[in-house]
Amino acid sequence: MMPYAELHCLSNFSFLQGASHPEELATQAAELGYAAIAITDQNSVAGVVRAHAAAKDAGLKLLIGAEMTPQDAPPVVLWATNRNGYGELCHLITKGRRRAPKGDCHLTFDDIAQHHTDLLAGVLPPAHTEQIDVARLHQYRELFGDRCYLLAELFRGPHDDKRLAWLRGLELQTSIPLVASGGVLFHTPTRRMLHDVITAVRYRTSVAQAGHLLQPNRERHLRLLADLNILYRGHEELLARTVEIADQCTFSLDELRYEYPRELAPEGMSPMEYLTQLTWDGAQRRFPEGVPEKVRGLLQHELQLIEELQYEPYFLTVWDLVRFARSRDILCQGRGSAANSVVCYCLDVTSVDPSRIEVLFERFISRERNEAPDIDIDFEHERREEVLQYLYAKYGRERTGMTAVTVTYRPRSAIRDVGKALGLSQDLIDRLAKNAGYHSTGEKFPIRCKEVGLNPASAIGKRFISLVTELLGFPRHLSQHTGGMVMTRGPLHCLVPIENAAMEGRTVVQWNKDDLDELGILKVDCLSLGMLTAIRKCFELVKQHHDLDLTLANVPEDDTKVYDMICRADTIGVFQIESRAQMSMLPRLKPRCYYDLVIEVSIVRPGPIQGDMVHPYLRRRNGEEPVTYPNENIKRVLKKTLGVPLFQEQCMQLSIVAAGFTPGEADQLRRAMAAWRRPGLIDQFRRKLLAGMQENGLTGEYAERVFNQIRGFGEYGFPESHAASFALLVYVSSWLKCHYPAEFAASIINSQPMGFYAPAQLIRDARDHNVEVLPIDVNFSDWSCTIENQALRLGFRLISGLRQETIETVVQARMHGPFSTMDEFLVRTQLSRTELARLSDADAFRSLNENRRLSFWNSLAQSDSPTQPSLFSPQHFVDDITPELPQMSAEQEVHADYRTTSLSLRAHPLSFYREELDQLRVIPNGDLKHIANNNSVRVAGLVLLRQRPSTAKGITFVTIEDETGAANLVVHQQTWDRYRKITHHSRAWLVHGYVQSKDSVIHVVANRIVDLSDKLHAVQTKSRDFR
Amino acid sequence: MPVSEAQTLCPDRRPLKLVAVNPEFDRILLERLAVVAQQFSPLVALNEAEEPDALLLDLTGVAHLYGGESEWAKSVCATFVSKGFQLQCAVAETIGAAWALAHGVHMPNRFRVLPAGELDRLNALSIETLRLNPEAHSVFRRLGIDSIGQLLALNRNSLVSRVGRAVTRRIGQFLGDIPELLTPYLPPPIFRERRQFEHPLTQPHWIEEISLQLLKRLLQRLAKRQLGLSQLHVVWQGEMAGTQLAWMIDLGRPTVDEPLLVELCQMKWERAALSFAVATVQMTAKQVGRLQCVRLSLFDEHQIALRKDIDTLVTRLHGRLGSAHVSHLELVPDAIPEHQTRLRSAIESSEIYDVSLDAGLVPQLWERPLLLAAFPQPVDVLRMCHHSRPAVIKWQGQLSELHHVWGPERVESGWWRRAVRRDYYRVETHTGQRWWIFQRLDTRQWFLHGEIA
């Protein structure tokens, strides 16, 4: 039996053409005993990295190639023989894609001619006819010489023998040898149904009507070697040739090493010298009283490691980026494991003083890891674009690109596409989609389908469910990642193809973050943090109104008032500690210093919760439990956290001091814990750890416990450095909230979308702190919120549907003096009817004595596209006759407020029903604190937030709000499911339950939920949902 | 609500009964009711809308014949209720007011009469009854205006610039300031030619002669209106009740081709056995239609001539055989051979199907035999040769040796209705016949599907 290598495969990265994941193809080929496999997507190598990982695991050889479709020649499959060939292939794909709009590729034969070295070519004759442009075949032959082949693909069609004969004829005529290939579209025949479905989706029709667009049979899968031998009987050399071709290709993706950009150091200095100089200069600046011994030692250790691993260009690149941002007054801060580096601190990349935390450089870079470091930098989200443009300008379009994000099918999109393809009625599809979850279909999916009228036991129901489940996770298209940038020394397009993104002037590489990580290619993540924008805006407002120049570095530390506020859990709007979970923790943990904040930020996370670290820590902190350590070494590591390991670095350090690991080995241990898919690896480390600990005299039970804690941390624990960077921002934002609440609220609102709460709650919180809040008005407000006589004046940005240019016009016109009548406003601003209607609906004309209805009435007189008033048509917009318009009730006004701005300064929608609710024995949320633990109670409110953390065993936390405040609900899984219609779709609830109060943290556990939406249907609120 | 939602509300055992909406049918029914209503008023109109659902009657000068407007309305209601309809009836001095009253007050099978000059009694009704456009309604909703009284309180001039003239026109029509015209409904004419004889005739050729004269006149009348005949009804009636001969000639397409019709009629008559004396001859055009124009192009006379010939042929066959018996084959893109062709009525598809134009059709269609069995016929394979190909088969009692076998061609498709998985082979028997056989991949049974001529 002849061996075989599959040379022509489309994976699902040929969007809507391939029906299998690249790793599925690789794994299946290995199981079938193929000699090798080539994943050859159309004009793309987006899927090869996933295939690479799977092929490596299975021990199968992977060829890298792509199917190129020039517009003036037959399509040809190209395979890379070595690194150079691979570079040519990437360059070719880049050329074709950069020329075309997003998602397309325009290539000509000449393009291929310019990039043919070290590539093998397999020309693809058309599938359904026996006609081909022989002249072009000759040209291919001339171009590629004996690297050119002709693909013979047989699919058990009506006349395979004739086709083969024709191909043999071509072979003689053009001297291009034939080679067998599969034209594979899916890995097993059972995927054929899904392939028909995606074909129907591709051509926007249904499967029943797609006709000959569908494949006539299932042959285009990875076939058994035996079947291939039967199919090509009499032509066995075609099969043998596939292995010949595979043998010629020796390129592997592992060969792609990162190549740093070069223009990093000034003339006459090597990059390492430059880095060293910058570091010591920075150290002087950071420690003006002299660099401490400890720090000096750390710096020398780090610089030595950097030089050894040759990472200095990377640090210089990042330093340059941060320097640029600071020069433009863009707030930024390094996050993540980079805060473990003192060099980074001296370079101003991170802001965490290494003397305040225990740094562990190996958490950031280690010899054993042998891959480039990963620095994430947070920038103000509104100005991040400037930073990205700087990178493009400095390194050029050819050497920088953004990482891609693979947008995949989610439940709703999968349901819609599969439903349309199967011919389900549109209304049924809509209902199925609305009833499904956001992220996955899960086991309850058949029940969901039944609820809306699709019987899951019927033939079509079964098919529908299985097809949707298969389609989930399939890539749909590539989109740009928010901020990951790749920069190279040589042209980027020799490393990976670049294509156009949807946005003008943006380009994207064909691989995503995980692919780049897998291959060890370096990227800088320029992340955006809303809070940085808010802090900067607040600094500006404080300077403007109080003439105080604040920076992240000079905010007064250790302010008791601020810590009092934090312990009270009065933290709405504050970075990181405003969530419900955090607010429940604050009164128990009671942070009183910076390091307490570091702990607070890290402790409310899945890692510590699952590892059962939280309660022991709190008990020890409150003095309920003695603090003990097995020995002195461990005490040193765990002292700051009272003997309970909370941080990733601590776990690593434990393995070092307790089990004798080297720092590099400790880092490997941490990463192995994260690789839970490879249990064999974890086992190895477990044995080593236990053995090491035993040598140091630590007993079995303690050792086991340590091991389990370390395991729990691998995936979820916070690095201490990361928490430390964040804790800085927590303190600064708390300080601002405490001392300048009006400015703080204004900045957070002006930086939306961000944070946990909507403007309505932020404003309510500001009012609770005695900030006066003034409504939006054409005579006073700007686009953004402003401070007016120490009160917060709301801005026009809160009105949905208004454009900033419209408001610019108003503000400009107002510079000549305030408006006194509607007529004057219309003449001076010349806004269109729709814009006026929006303003009047938002009640922005109150200072002109025009209520909503009256101003709307007057706005109607304006034509839709006003022109300049001319001499001949003096436009009297407002008649002298005031119309008799009925008055709006208070409730209607509040509903209108919510409709336009999602908030109301007048009253809360629920306040109008207080009497009715009283009759139903519902208590206002503000009275909850007077109810004793375990008493039954009824509460009602609008749904603000729903959160279902992964550690909470299916419990959902819901926050509802009425006119007296918010209430936190606990909804167990059964309750959630029992009232699913309400919990899923309703925005106003009446809840029967009982009170759970502990340490001044109050929750209501829900037993029964009643829908209040029909009373409040006019109120449109959006609940923010979190994991 | 959508059907799927309604089905979830239905208890499991009772299936949902669905009746399709049919606007055409509704309109025809309403037109018939308009004819009935003509006994109550000289001017009956349907309301102007995409799908009319009301009748408007002008009462001027009629009410006194019934003894007053209330009596009149009572008769109207009684008549329609007795026919099995539910209705609401309102009488007022303007159409706008009557419309508002009829739609604004719930009074099943009853009537209301608004005395003249008392329009303000309607002030409490919603402005929805004023026949305004949706944009105007959304504006009024925002202003909080929902009753007629509130709307009338607004200054008319201010309204014009704000919501447009259409609204003020409706208000004017409601109040009677602006006239509203009704377009009376006129039923369509019947094309019929009839001749009664003083003395009944017995000679067939005289009767035919007169019938043909009537036909000629009928066609002339139709041609004047640019109409053609698609269904002709011929009746020869005798003196005594119940004695008659009737024929229906169905042409499918409207035509005024006299020789063709004459020929068709004569073919029908020559087989008639006349057993009574004919007193009346009647020719009715049961169905008429616009005459279709043939597109003229400057260069393709041959195509036009061909097309015309084919049309004539189809019409003749249609006339002779009836619509159910004249059809043509249509090619359907489908992988499964028995679904690749479909019969369609020849009248509906007026194109000459030029297969060479559609190169996109899967060339597999060329690979299909011309003769396809209606249902695949089971055969027995008695001996297989190398590579699992059939060598000897038995069909209808006869043994055939297969000298050549080409294939297999694998066809697997149709999983969304009924999955088909077959391996097809073209075979040549020892007698030189060429067949198309297949093996079902699931049951491994063999079948004969067609003959390659």
What the block records as the tokens of B35 is: 């004819």
For residue A887, give the chain B residue with the closest CA: B144
Task: Flag whether residue A454 sits within 8 Å of chain B, measured between CB atoms.
Answer: yes
| B70/chain A closest Cα distance in angstroms | 37
Sort strands A988-998 and A936-947 into parallel, antiparallel or unpaired. antiparallel
Mean pLDDT of B58-65: 89
User: For residue A560, what pLDDT is reported?
Assistant: 93
Q: If we measure between CA atoms, which residue out of B172, B182, B176, B134 comes closest to residue B151?
A: B172
Beta-carbon contacts of residue A378 (< 8 Å; ≥ 6 apart): A332, A333, A334, A335, A527, A528, A529, A532
Burial-class residue A293 by CB neighbours within 10 Å (0-12, 13-18, 19+): exposed
Cβ distance B410 to A156 less than 8 Å, yes or no, reads: yes
Q: Where are the domains of chain B?
A: 23-175, 192-290, 327-361, 369-451
Task: Flag whether residue B123 sits within 8 Å of chain A, measured between CB atoms.
Answer: no
Beta-carbon contacts of residue A290 (< 8 Å; ≥ 6 apart): none
Task: Flag whether residue B4 sits within 8 Å of chain A, measured between CB atoms.
Answer: yes
**Helix axes B156-163 and B134-143, enclosed angle (nearest 10):** 120
Euclidean distance between CA atoms B98 and B91, whole angstroms: 5
Cβ distance A157 to B143 less than 8 Å, yes or no, reads: no
Cβ distance A158 to B362 less than 8 Å, yes or no, reads: no
User: For residue A679, what pLDDT is reported?
Assistant: 57
| A593/chain B closest Cα distance in angstroms | 55
Amino acid type, B332: V
| A471/chain B closest Cα distance in angstroms | 17
Sort strands B371-385 and B389-395 into parallel, antiparallel or unpaired. antiparallel
Interface with chain A: mutation pick from B162, B336, B341, B440, highest number of A CBs within 10 Å? B162
Asked if the model's pLDDT at residue B122 lies above 70, the reply is yes
Cβ distance B150 to A884 less than 8 Å, yes or no, reads: yes
Contact yes or no for A307/A315 (Cβ under 8 A): no
Q: Which helix (H) or strand (E) holds A821?
A: none
What the block records as the tokens of B205 is: 């050729």
- DSSP 3-state of B216: helix
Distance of CA B132 to the CA centre of its chain: 32
Which residue among B7, B8, B144 sits closest to A885, beta carbon to beta carbon? B144
Q: Where are the domains of chain A?
A: 5-187+222-254, 610-717, 772-901, 909-1026
Cβ distance A883 to B157 less than 8 Å, yes or no, reads: no
Of the pLDDT bands very low, low, confident and very high (cuts 50, 70, 90), residue B267 is: confident
User: For residue A529, what pLDDT is reported?
Assistant: 86
| A43/chain B closest Cα distance in angstroms | 25
Task: Flag whether residue B355 sits within 8 Å of chain A, measured between CB atoms.
Answer: no
Task: Flag whether residue B404 sits within 8 Å of chain A, measured between CB atoms.
Answer: no
User: For residue A1022, what pLDDT is reported?
Assistant: 66
Burial-class residue A971 by CB neighbours within 10 Å (0-12, 13-18, 19+): buried
Q: How many angstroms separate the Cα of A74 from the Cα of each of A121, A169, A294, B130, B159?
A: 12, 17, 67, 67, 67
Task: Flag whether residue A159 sits within 8 Å of chain B, measured between CB atoms.
Answer: yes
Euclidean distance between CA atoms A607 and A617, whole angstroms: 14
**DSSP string covering B77-99:** HHHHHHTT----EEE-SSHHHHH
For residue B157, give the chain A residue with the closest CA: A879
Asked if the model's pLDDT at residue B357 lies above 50, the reply is no
Task: Flag whether residue B142 sits within 8 Å of chain A, measured between CB atoms.
Answer: yes
Q: If we measure between CA atoms, which residue out of A58, A27, A38 comes closest to residue A188?
A: A27
Task: Flag whether residue A129 sits within 8 Å of chain B, measured between CB atoms.
Answer: yes
| B95/chain A closest Cα distance in angstroms | 27
List average pLDDT for each run of 10 residues in chain A, which is 1027 residues long.
92 94 94 95 93 90 95 94 93 92 91 93 88 90 94 90 92 94 94 95 92 88 94 92 94 78 73 90 87 86 86 84 89 80 87 74 70 79 86 80 88 93 91 77 81 87 92 88 77 86 82 80 81 92 92 88 92 89 87 91 76 80 82 81 81 80 77 59 76 78 74 67 87 94 94 88 92 93 93 93 90 91 87 88 88 87 57 49 83 89 90 89 90 92 84 82 90 88 86 86 91 70 67
User: For residue A870, what pLDDT is reported?
Assistant: 42
The DSSP 8-state label assigned to residue B10 in this structure reads: S
Contact yes or no for A1008/A934 (Cβ under 8 A): no
Burial-class residue A770 by CB neighbours within 10 Å (0-12, 13-18, 19+): exposed
Q: Which class would CATH give A909-1026?
A: mainly beta
Omega before B408 within 30 of 0, i.e. cis: yes
Contact residues, chain B, for A213 at CB < 8 Å: 333
What the block records as the tokens of A678 is: 């490879």
User: For residue B115, what pLDDT is reported?
Assistant: 87
User: For residue A680, what pLDDT is reported?
Assistant: 61
Omega before A753 within 30 of 0, i.e. cis: yes
Chains A & B: contacts with CB separation below 8 Å: 120
Q: If we measure between CA atoms, which residue out of A73, A30, A35, A31 comes closest to residue A55?
A: A30
| A140/chain B closest Cα distance in angstroms | 27
Cβ distance B416 to A886 less than 8 Å, yes or no, reads: no
- Tell me which of 3.20.20.140, 3.40.50.880, 1.20.1290.10, 3.40.50.970 is the CATH number of domain A5-187+222-254: 3.20.20.140
Contact residues, chain B, for A158 at CB < 8 Å: 364, 367, 409, 424
Interface with chain B: mutation pick from A212, A213, A218, A876, highest number of B CBs within 10 Å? A212
Q: Which helix (H) or strand (E) holds B113?
A: strand B111-113
**DSSP string covering A264-280:** TS-TT--HHHHHHHHHH
For chain A, positions 319-378, list CB contacts with chain B under 8 A.
Answer: none
Which residue among A156, A463, A857 sits closest to B409, beta carbon to beta carbon? A156
Cβ distance A216 to B335 less than 8 Å, yes or no, reads: yes
Model confidence pLDDT, tens digit, residues A934-974: 999 999 999 988 888 766 677 888 999 999 888 999 999 88
User: For residue A25, what pLDDT is reported?
Assistant: 95
Model confidence pLDDT, tens digit, residues A62-103: 999 999 999 999 999 999 999 999 999 999 999 999 899 888
Cβ distance A453 to B8 less than 8 Å, yes or no, reads: yes
Sort strands B398-413 and B389-395 into parallel, antiparallel or unpaired. antiparallel
What the block records as the tokens of A698 is: 């630590």
Model confidence pLDDT, tens digit, residues B302-351: 777 777 777 778 878 877 777 778 887 777 777 788 887 777 777 665 55
- Tell me which of 3.30.420.40, 3.30.1490.100, 3.40.50.720, 2.30.110.10 is the CATH number of domain B192-290: 3.30.1490.100
What the block records as the tokens of B289 is: 């239609």
CA dihedral B161, B167, B169, B174 (to 10 degrees): -140
Q: Which class would CATH give A772-901?
A: mainly alpha
Show the 3-state SS of A347-405. CCCCCCCCCCCCCCHHHHCCCCCCCCCCCEEEEECCCHHHHHHHHHHHHCCCCEEEEEE
